[in-house]
Structure 1
């Protein structure tokens, strides 16, 4: 009997703070409940994951240009060869583990532009390899949504079917997988893993409004209108920030992914006021610190919303997907949503003022809902131990091929 070998898998370390926050929560669980486990990662940014989280990490894709548009013959050939090489690389990595955990993330959805041969293919390779070699693969508090594109839909459906354990971060996700032909009778719904992270200490900046922005171009089905959607979003967000500045309110711009910096720069340039500043955040803990210091938050990215809600700050969602609507409803702020695809600065300002009038009441509601979320995630981690570590933390590790 030796220590269990546990792998974590996903677009981790690639600049998305929400994905890395989900990994942080799972690693905290493993270190607390299974400290003997030997953990490593197959991920998007292995250098970052190793440096920040202290675990060995391997690059998810053999071809380094996987997520760049391929227009030349050499790049297209490289991508094609990479798909074949990744099948063998993924299988070899999975075979070395007893358990592989996919921590949170929207791995079963296509609410943002997505190609089937990108991450959906990588996830399918993972789950198929797990079934082939008897490695338990767990999709933990993941997001899902109905997918129209047939190849993507098929890969996502088969990935879910082949996984050993599935749980979802909202009922919407479970219903979507059921509609796509997955038997979800034994699947549970738990809060997003970020709700398991520590809540920062309180510090207040009177009058501060945090505005979380996103390099938003619509979803998978909006490709024909992507630039129009992006322009309307940036123009609306800029007009809203400008209106706050006219009222003398300090504004702090937040991001959730490295690509969002272009929107921050556009707003800073257009508004050109010392009242508007940009936060430098490297983790969800940083985002919680920022949102916890604010009177009110208006945000787009899903994990910007989660950080604000967990910090207990009244929040208005610039909603771009049903997952944001479901989150706001679960936390008692269903009335405070505005469509990211059609930002109307005047209407948004009205909703913002209505939110601020109920600030004290909503802070009490958020405190209660956060306690419930924390207890549910404790139950999730107990269920994970039962499903993935059946010998109470000591699993037989298969020998690595020499």
Structure 2
């Protein structure tokens, strides 16, 4: 029998992974790449939103995050409400049982400490709190790696997020505003670092594909309805966003520009359909992307990208294509500034097609210099993430420690 001290370290990955959001899955892919390179002996499995997808695509054993399969559907009727309530109790037991089987659990990127999109406190924030609380209880190191955070208005959500962060062993953020937001919520961030988004650690697709048609523009769209505090205006915000982006596409088509519509989540498909129907031009087509690598391959052939979803922006910047952000949160503005394109942001809540077109033309005029800037910033991002992986290994994988102990580093005692 292999002695316990020689047993492989048991690593779990946690989050809304395999659920249709390409950005979340890209963050998982980056962490799996890090583990494969630096800790190939580790035994890895997942507690996630889409276990079938994660198991099939990444060959990682996976367990469903929530006992109740309708967790993220609005409960209607006493039966559904009761099932959700029971599910919260069952999930506490299931999460604890899963966590105690691991030495380390990694939450790979994602906006797990924010509510910039509609979010209920007893959904994912509660699940994250269960993870971090049971990690502290059982001595399992929990790492929030290059995560996003933002100010949260809802008191229950804010409390769950704050305690989750406090209970984690390791925290790092994908931008400075995220760290500032957690500090404002009462978390001691003195030893927390800021690194680029994990997707910058993914390999860029090979530059061997055919070039796009002359003037080719990629437009990343989103089923955008505002944030958690915008529920009363959600439909108005969505109509303005859709109308502005549709008018922008019409203007490009009038100039003879081919437009390729991209998404980052299955929920975005109706926006693509609405634009295709409204514009009705063969110059406007839609791509089917199953991963961030697919998105990068599309964007690498474009002359310019305009995008809303955060990881659409990451992909475009990663491949060095001049990019304009339809920004819906501080994370988008921070990302664009970090990559040297801070001047090219446009508010997603107030899309003005004429102003957007002016900004787009300015972006194209500066294209050559922007491509050089992106090449330089991507090198900086890659080096920064390698430093994070070194720090992560030192914090989570002490030499020879492959069993549960209570001697690991705790960044903060609540």
Fold shared per TM-score above 0.5 = yes
1:83 maps to 88
2-structure distance, mates of 1:305, 1:174: 21
C-alpha displacement at 1:253, in angstroms? 0.2
Normalised TM-score (structure 2): 0.95
Match of 1:395 among 393, 396, 402: 402
Which residues in structure 2 correspond to 1:147-186 (within 5 Å)? 147-186=152-191
Q: Which SS does the other structure have where 1:58 is aligned?
A: strand
C-alpha displacement at 1:74, in angstroms? 0.2
Match of 1:16 among 21, 25, 29: 21
1:333 maps to 341
Match of 1:110 among 106, 112, 115: 115
1:279 and 2:287 are equivalent in the alignment:
yes
1:125 and 2:91 are equivalent in the alignment:
no
Q: Is the 8 A contact 1:314 1:362 kept in 2?
A: yes
Q: Is the 8 A contact 1:254 1:279 kept in 2?
A: yes
1:29 and 2:34 are equivalent in the alignment:
yes
1:39 and 2:44 are equivalent in the alignment:
yes
C-alpha displacement at 1:201, in angstroms? 2.2
Q: Is the 8 A contact 2:346 2:356 kept in 1?
A: yes
Q: Is the 8 A contact 2:149 2:182 kept in 1?
A: yes
In structure 2, stretches of 5+ residues that fail to align are: 406-414
Match of 1:382 among 373, 390, 398: 390
Q: How many residue pairs are counted as aligned between the two chains? A: 397
2:59 maps to 54
Q: Is the 8 A contact 1:3 1:397 kept in 2?
A: no
C-alpha displacement at 1:148, in angstroms? 1.0
2:11 maps to 6
1-structure distance, mates of 2:83, 2:71: 9
Match of 1:215 among 217, 223, 226: 223
Match of 1:236 among 237, 244, 268: 244
Q: Is the 8 A contact 2:11 2:45 kept in 1?
A: yes
1-structure distance, mates of 2:240, 2:142: 41
Q: Which SS does the other structure have where 1:225 is aligned?
A: helix
C-alpha displacement at 1:397, in angstroms? 5.7
1:311 and 2:319 are equivalent in the alignment:
yes
Q: Which SS does the other structure have where 2:398 is aligned?
A: coil
C-alpha displacement at 1:207, in angstroms? 1.1
1-structure distance, mates of 2:321, 2:260: 14
1-structure distance, mates of 2:288, 2:215: 20
Query: CA RMSD of the aligned region, Å?
Result: 0.8
C-alpha displacement at 1:218, in angstroms? 0.1
Q: Is the 8 A contact 1:5 1:397 kept in 2?
A: no
In structure 1, stretches of 5+ residues that fail to align are: none
1-structure distance, mates of 2:205, 2:101: 37
C-alpha displacement at 1:71, in angstroms? 1.5
1:289 maps to 297
2-structure distance, mates of 1:129, 1:396: 17
2-structure distance, mates of 1:397, 1:186: 24
1:368 and 2:373 are equivalent in the alignment:
no
2:408 maps to none
